[in-house]
Amino acid sequence: MIVALGVFFIALLIIIGGERGAVTLISLFCNLLVLWGSLQLLTLGVNPLGIAFLACFLINCSTLFYQNGKNAKTIASFGAVLLVSGTLFLLAVGLCGSANLQGIHEVIQQGDQLQGLSSDIQLSMTNIAVLVILIGLLGATMDTSIAISSAVYEVYRNNRGMTAQALFSSGMHIGGDILGTTVNTLYFAYLGEAMTLLIYYKDAGLSFSEIINAKSFFQDFAAMMFSGIGCVAMIPITAGIVSFVLTHPEKFKKYLEEDELFAEKSNLQ
């Protein structure tokens, strides 16, 4: 069944996406490779926080630069994702510490899935919880960021005379339009994931107050909220960075050589 679905997925990706589909597939594969490598390094006992940053960096490179090319859009998004991930990293460290978010929650422990496994693993589960949050929000923040930077880019392409301030406010406007659907995407993805857990609570007859204090619920909830907060923070930060890059291309000359918009400009001169 997995094989059949996998084949369908890849076939559709190629049929519908064409060349871009193949690129998506390769970058998806790279991301899986990064995740695989991170897991291997984690079992060797390398510090999870360091791995989280390394994985963020590599996944960003493969998704933004490989999938969408090296241009003003991706450079701005790259900067914005790193900035937001860094800030949320601090928040996540604080929260995982104060809400004891580490480890494997009580509902999994009660099942028979983990029977016979030794918990003697010499890993800091608190740091792993931070890594889980950072990796979880990566997809959503990259999505929001690239949507905003490419929309602002298109606006600039059609109105070359716009000031940074005007570009910024149009970025904020676009952000407001897409935030609703992004939040929905996250909500439903996590609802799908947490559905068995919610039915479990219903079976066990837990009350609302017991649920919000449960580690199992809080882990999923925190992952979803962090992704949401990441997307929200992404809007002003991406809009700010992309409008700065577009209006000050001379400062980013080194990185914009492949950008059609600015390559064009230098040809004209």
Partner 1 sequence: MRDIMAQGKVFFVAHKKRVFFYLGILVLLSVAVVVVGQDGFLYKIPVVRITEVENSCQKTVGTEQSYSQKITGVLVNGQWKGREIRLNHEYSSSQVYDEEYRKGDQVFVSKIVPGDILSGHISGLKRDQSFAMLLALFFCGVLFVTGKKGIFVALSLFFNVFIFLQVLVFYEKGIDFFFLSNILMVLFAVFSLLLVSGFNRKTGAAIVGTLCSIGLTMLLFFLTMKNTGGVDYGFMEYLSSHDDLPQIFMAQILFGGLGATMDVSITMSSTINELLYKDKGISARALLRSGREVGHDIMGTMINVMLFAYVSGEIPVMLLKMKNHISLVTIVSQHIPFEVYRFLLGGIGILIAIPVSLGVSLFFWKGVGGLRQK
Shortest spacing between CB 253 and partner 1, in angstroms: 26
Query: Of 128 and 245, which has the nearer Cβ to partner 1?
Result: 128
In order of 60, 101, 200, the CA distances from 144 in angstroms are 13, 26, 33
The residue behind tokens 């492949």 is 258
222's tokens: 């925190």
219's tokens: 């882990």
Shortest spacing between CB 196 and partner 1, in angstroms: 5
Phi/psi region, residue 105 (left: phi>0; alpha: psi -120 to 50; beta: rest), is beta
Binding residue (CB under 8 A) for partner 1 from 149, 190, 241, 259:
190
Q: How many CB atoms lie within 10 A of CB 202?
A: 10
How deeply is 183 buried, as exposed, middle or buried, from its count of CB atoms within 10 A (0-12, 13-18, 19+)? middle
89's tokens: 């990293």
Q: How many CB atoms lie within 10 A of CB 210?
A: 12
Q: Total residues at the site for partner 1 (CB under 8 A)?
A: 117
Whole-angstrom distance, CA of residue 124 vs CA of residue 233: 28
**Binding flags for partner 1, 201-240, as an x/- string (CB under 8 A):** -xx-----x--xxxx--xxxxxx-xxxxx--xx-xx----
Shortest spacing between CB 17 and partner 1, in angstroms: 6
Query: Of 202 and 265, which has the nearer Cβ to partner 1?
Result: 202
Per rule CB under 8 A, is residue 70 in the interface with partner 1? Answer: no
Query: Of 36 and 266, which has the nearer Cβ to partner 1?
Result: 36
2's tokens: 């997995």
The one-character DSSP state at 63 is I
Per rule CB under 8 A, is residue 169 in the interface with partner 1? Answer: no
Per rule CB under 8 A, is residue 172 in the interface with partner 1? Answer: yes
Shortest spacing between CB 95 and partner 1, in angstroms: 6
Is the Cβ–Cβ distance between 174 and 185 less than 8 Å?
Answer: no
Interface with partner 1 in residues 109-168 (CB under 8 A): 109, 111-114, 117-126, 128-129, 131-133, 135-140, 142-143, 146-147, 150
Shortest spacing between CB 160 and partner 1, in angstroms: 18
Shortest spacing between CB 164 and partner 1, in angstroms: 14
**Binding flags for partner 1, 25-44, as an x/- string (CB under 8 A):** --xx--xx--xx--xx-xx-
